[in-house]
Amino acid sequence: MAIKKVVANVEEACRGIESSMTLMLGGFGLCGIPENCISQLVKLGVNDLTCISNNAGVDDFGLGLLLQGRQIRKMISSYVGENDEFERQMLSGELEVDLIPQGSLAERCRAGGAGIPAFFTPAGYGTEVGEGKEVRMFDGKPHILESALTADFAIVKAWKGDEAGNLIYRATARNFNPMMAMAGKITIAEVEELVPLGELDPNEIHTPGIFVQRIFQGNSYEKRIEQRTVRPRN
Amino acid sequence: MAIKKVVANVEEACRGIESSMTLMLGGFGLCGIPENCISQLVKLGVNDLTCISNNAGVDDFGLGLLLQGRQIRKMISSYVGENDEFERQMLSGELEVDLIPQGSLAERCRAGGAGIPAFFTPAGYGTEVGEGKEVRMFDGKPHILESALTADFAIVKAWKGDEAGNLIYRATARNFNPMMAMAGKITIAEVEELVPLGELDPNEIHTPGIFVQRIFQGNSYEKRIEQRTVRPRN
Amino acid sequence: MLDKNGIAQRIAQELQDGYYVNLGIGIPTLVANYIPENINVEFQSENGVLGMGPFPFEGDENADLINAGKQTITTMPGAVFFDSATSFAMIRGQHVQLTVLGAMEVSQNGDIANWKIPGKMVKGMGGAMDLVASAENIIVAMMHTNKAGESKLLADCTLPLTGVGCVKKVVTNLATLDIKDGAFHLLERAPGVSVEEIVQATAGKLIVPPHVPEMQL
Amino acid sequence: MLDKNGIAQRIAQELQDGYYVNLGIGIPTLVANYIPENINVEFQSENGVLGMGPFPFEGDENADLINAGKQTITTMPGAVFFDSATSFAMIRGQHVQLTVLGAMEVSQNGDIANWKIPGKMVKGMGGAMDLVASAENIIVAMMHTNKAGESKLLADCTLPLTGVGCVKKVVTNLATLDIKDGAFHLLERAPGVSVEEIVQATAGKLIVPPHVPEMQL
């Protein structure tokens, strides 16, 4: 029988998350973020967190909620600052920020999950991202050595998941979630729809359950849209 | 509109493949191998090939067919020798064989497609695979530096594909096909079922069409089973 | 002189049939409005989609379907979704044929600075460093001068770099220029712009051929 | 003395609830027949499947669904397919809790040789080098001596290595042994086997405690 990963609720899912830990959180902007777990982190009041996440949310949603409570000590991201509180904390030195090229961030998370401790990439060579990093030429082109990222907890959001922790994401809400799911010592998945074993086609799963330690059905998803761009009907 | 990759047939798909080229061929054992293209390579009579493939087929099927015609100069594989002709050519020195740990082979193909020229892995340290390779300690554990693999042509087999070259594999016939599809300068996909644009769910595609340059519907798939293991009914 | 749409329109002439294209935020996004007839190109957005279509009709927005600018979008038949590692595998592995980016500064050896102004709030490089480090074919879309009237085409960038020696072509409101052999090479004047104006607005080394045609839009 | 099935049965006692397990070809495959009641384990096959079930009924074979031994298989509810890179990401990334492998030789410092005999046909290492280099928990399943009656538990391996210092436990037809601090440590005797027989059959350094219990199967 499959190994079951279901926990009852977000409280149980987040058990063991403590101050000073390193967390990975999936999502791109506000798309595909683990809303339920972020709310629970606010409730738990853990602080001094290092958060690895492509972005940092907005003032009143996503990781912005943790920033409001000054729960984050360090952000490791590719693009931040869609919110004022972030800017204030960063400029005042309260918040440490490590900016990483987006592709290197994605690959470093994957590497962390895949047991690849380091790899060479051209991204960032000759810039401040490359400072202090080993440079090597391949095919006449300079590359820098980047190292793997892992986390005490990886927290991801999927569309559907089954009891074995197998996950399917929807559209571009996939983004960083699959790599982060691989890179957590403990990976928590919150899903919009939790289904019994055998309901997902084994051929259509994006994240195999082996990477997931806890799964629960989230609720009250707001799924806020950051830039609502539309064209008029006519 | 999507960029269309459809070619009429296997002849058109294999145009430009020449002697002395490096080819990647998907499949694990006889599962998920590009049967139509292999037949065409026999017909074309190209030789001195370097073939990157996890296995080398059996005497009368898969890459064994190319070995019969002595079309292969060098095999880069993780496990070979399910056929007598292979053994004869290898022991006589006609065939050069480069054996690579299976996980390193998969990752080196992916790296080739992903623009990662080299990465560290623990596999093969302290063995002849690690000889002459750079060793570095990470977390107290020795790793060796492995380099990316690419090919003049990558030839893969999928279950379904659409006109844009998007591919879906079936069950364990996926294996090496997705990484090799990424690593070909030109990637040829043969599929059991070629469907119009829009018929595949964008969420369920394993290989995005950007990695595929030519796609065609194959025919007369034999899909031979290497080890038929069954249990009796009742 | 071109406006932003004009710059986008000129860059769209560089599109070729079968190109996969990554468009940055700002002027580059407008390039999608000027795809030449009879060619097929596909737009890659680094957050994980190939085959982007137009914005959705009002009421059809899907929070799970956005582009790298976090705007709601739609997809075309043949579209595909993928994760961020696969997305940058496409970019780093040079499967994307053309990248169009904005810039704050470009130098005569092809360096680009477009992500950070020291002393100001830093928002991050997003995918820009991966894009410029890997793309074979990068076009910069920008104004020729900044708001203070200073040239953005320099001998050396003064701002922190995004990438080194990677930009091959620049389209501005004044001109189209190639970058090679450590200099800007003037290819075309924008409509109504004189060579003299371009020379005045270019701080880096500029090679001006005897005849400089006007852009055809 | 144990036969192959007995070795598999003893190794199955090492399975714990929630383990993902990779079983090599040969004796290790038999371990799947002895899963203790009341625990759930899942079998990973490195060709790209988690959640393998029993062999298919006659006539139900699917050429697209095989294990790493190229045998036709079935899947259980909750199974998942993936590509070879993802498969070895699971293995290299230590997401698989137990690996069971056959071996030609094991040394007292945990080296293993199981892929190549010089001068004979070399078939290749397949996934074995990745497995032994990465797994936290490797059990070797093998006969204590080779066909010539020579010990396979050695001071140093004589055959080309598959991995260095990675084996922590060995189960043979004669005994269960731990490997630590540069020696084999005798834990259990196979039914009917004396300590003296095990000492005789072990060429490497062997630590024998005062009392050596017999295996309970």
Residue A86: predicted pLDDT: 87
DSSP B42-57: HHHT--SEEEE-S---
Q: Which other chains touch chain B, taking contact as 3+ CB pairs less than 8 Å apart?
A: A, C, D
Asked whether residue C24 is domain-assigned, the answer is yes
pLDDT at A116 over 90: yes
Confidence of residue A161 (pLDDT cuts 50, 70, 90): very high
Cβ-based contacts of B101 with chain D (< 8 Å): 125-130, 133
Give the residue from A79, A128, A75 showing the smallest Cα distance to C122.
A79
Residue among C14, C37, C46, C197 flagged as catalytic: C46
Residue B71: predicted pLDDT: 97
Residue A1: predicted pLDDT: 72
Residue A83: predicted pLDDT: 80
Cβ-based interface (< 8 Å): residues of C facing B: 17-20, 40-42, 44, 49-51, 75-82, 85-86, 88-96, 134
Q: Establish whether this prediction's ipTM goes over 0.90.
A: yes
Residues C130, A102: C-beta atoms closer than 8 Å: yes
What one-character DSSP code corresponds to residue B82? S
From the CA of D24, how many Å to the nearest CA of chain B?
14
Which of B138, B139, B170 is opposite residue A203, by nearest beta carbon?
A: B170
Instruction: Tell me the pLDDT tens digit for each residue of A9-66.
Output: 999 999 999 999 999 999 999 999 999 999 999 999 999 999 999 999 999 999 999 9
- Domain spans of chain B, in order of start: 10-117+150-217
Residues B175, D123: C-beta atoms closer than 8 Å: no
Instruction: Tell me the pLDDT tens digit for each residue of C94-144.
Output: 999 999 999 999 999 999 999 999 888 789 999 999 999 998 899 999 999
Residue D78: predicted pLDDT: 96
Instruction: Tell me the pLDDT tens digit for each residue of D133-163.
Output: 998 899 999 999 999 999 999 999 999 999 9
Residue A94: predicted pLDDT: 93
Mean pLDDT of C8-33: 94
Residues D20, A205: C-beta atoms closer than 8 Å: no
Residue A234: predicted pLDDT: 75
From the CA of D55, how many Å to the nearest CA of chain B?
5
Residues C80, B198: C-beta atoms closer than 8 Å: no
Asked whether residue C213 is domain-assigned, the answer is no
Q: Does A contact D via 3+ CB–CB distances below 8 Å? A: yes
Residue A102: predicted pLDDT: 98
3-state secondary structure of D60: coil
From the CA of A145, how many Å to the nearest CA of chain B?
9
Residue A193: predicted pLDDT: 98
Low-confidence ranges of chain B (pLDDT < 70): none
Give the residue from C171, C79, A85, D103 showing the smallest Cα distance to B199.
C79
Cβ-based contacts of D157 with chain B (< 8 Å): none
- Does residue C163 contact residue C24 with C-beta atoms inside 8 Å? no
**The domain spanning residue C194 has which CATH number?**
3.40.1080.10
Asked whether residue D108 is domain-assigned, the answer is yes
Q: Annotated active-site positions of D, please?
A: 46
Mean pLDDT of A70-98: 91
Confidence of residue A87 (pLDDT cuts 50, 70, 90): confident
Asked whether residue C59 is domain-assigned, the answer is no
Which of D54, D68, D88 is opposite residue B231, by nearest beta carbon?
A: D54
Residues A120, B121: C-beta atoms closer than 8 Å: no
Which of B79, B81, B175 is opposite residue D83, by nearest beta carbon?
A: B175
The chain A residue lying nearest D92, using CA atoms, is: A115
Residue B134: burial class (beta carbons within 10 Å; 0-12, 13-18, 19+): exposed
Residue type, B206: H
Residue D156: predicted pLDDT: 98
Note if C197 is an active site residue: no
Residue A100: predicted pLDDT: 97
Instruction: Tell me the pLDDT tens digit for each residue of B139-170.
Output: 999 999 999 999 999 999 999 999 999 999 99
Residue D26's alpha-carbon distances to A129, C184, D4, D140, in angstroms, are: 49, 67, 9, 11
Cβ-based contacts of A205 with chain B (< 8 Å): none
The tokens describing A224, both together, are: 């806020």
Cβ-based contacts of D160 with chain B (< 8 Å): 127-128
Residue B196: predicted pLDDT: 97
Number of domains comprising chain D? 1
The chain C residue lying nearest A158, using CA atoms, is: C64
Size of interface A-C (CB pairs under 8 A): 184
Class of domain A10-117+150-217: alpha beta
Residue D95: predicted pLDDT: 98
3-state secondary structure of B182: helix
What one-character DSSP code corresponds to residue B226? S
Low-confidence ranges of chain D (pLDDT < 50): none
pLDDT at C216 over 90: yes
